[in-house]
Every structure is written in structure tokens, then in C-alpha cells.
Structure 1
């Protein structure tokens, strides 16, 4: 009986040692679980920041589109301005041509005035 008791005692010690080992592993598992939770919390925070950055990016994209639309409008206005400038140049060229014709008409009028004076002088001579 003593031998059996010793054997059972030895087995009990062995089981106790195994139990202690299992408890240590359970503690380590618990610690890993805690770390996992912390990492999960960080993951959630990073995800939230990512969403925020995404929202800002979207906002910037919308502003970029708005600026693009304004740029297009300005380009259209610049084109219209250029067209008006071209028309102005054409009108200026017409103005120069009209001015030249006006000078020509004035010269003709002056010539006719000179002829009129000559005719008047001749008329006076005849009357005399």
C-alpha cells in the first residue's frame, strides 16, 4: 500500500506540475487576448482616421471640380474677350478706311471749291 501511495503521490505531483503549466499558458493566452483587444482598438482608431482622411479627400476633390468649372468659365470669357478684340481690330481697320475715304472726299470738295471760285471769276469777267 505504501508503494501505491507513493506512486499516487508522484502522479499527483506530476498532475500538479501539468496544472501549473496549463495555468501559465492560460495566463499567457489571456495576456495575448488583452493585446489583441488593444490592437483591435488601435485598428478601429486607424480606420476612423482613414475615413476622416477619405472625407477630406472627397471634399478636396469637390473643390477641385468647382475650381475646374471656374477655370472653364474664365477660359470661355477669355475666348469671348479675344473675339471682341478681333472685332475691335476689324472695326478699327474699317475706321481707318472710312477716314481715308473721308480725306479723299475732302480733297475732291476742295478741288470743286477751287473750280467754283474759277467759274465765279469767269462769270464776273463776263458780266464786266
Structure 2
């Protein structure tokens, strides 16, 4: 588990694929919890199965019962989707709040003509009140 300063909220955990994801999230100055790095994403075709990632270390942290909320912050790729679904199933028995980063149309993304169907679907499903 990684914390960027002494004031991290120890009950909030953000699960990322790699250390560089932490740098990107930290740049937003929004999240003040702790991080868990998976060291990749599930990709069975390339031999990256859950046992090759850091799920056992994550389970140890979850068994400590400190974590109350987990934010899944893995890539918006096929491998990221597989990993996110696996994480959701993996975390459900711990009876905590589980969320995933919102996905959708990027700022400056231009016309809807250039947005793929999956991204547009996620943007519609993840919409929020203004």
C-alpha cells in the first residue's frame, strides 16, 4: 500500500495497474487515500492471470478491515475491463463501497462522430446531474 503523505485517509483505497497511474491521479490533487498497485492487468492471452498480480497482498490489506471504500482505477481497455470485473467479484465479500473511475467522452474530444460506441454508452450510463 502506498500513501503520498502523512495525511492520507487510510480507509480509502485506489487500486491502479501501475505506479505511473498514481502519478496521474496525484496530479489531480483530488484523491487523498492510499493506493494499491496491481503491477499489470489480467491478460490471459499473454499469460497474465490474477495469481501473477498482487491480489494476495490486496487480500491481506482487506482482511485488516481498515479499508471502507475501494476505487478501481484500471485502464479503459479490454484487459482493464476484465481486471475491473475480477476486482469487483474479489472485493464483494468484504462488504465495502466499491466504485470505478467514470469513463466517457474526453474534454476536447470533439464531435460525437468520432466517439466510439462503447465510450458513448459509458458516457450516457455514467452521466450526472448538472
Larger Rg: 1
Per the normalisation by structure 1, the TM-score is 0.15
Larger RCO (alpha carbons 8 Å, 6+ apart): 2
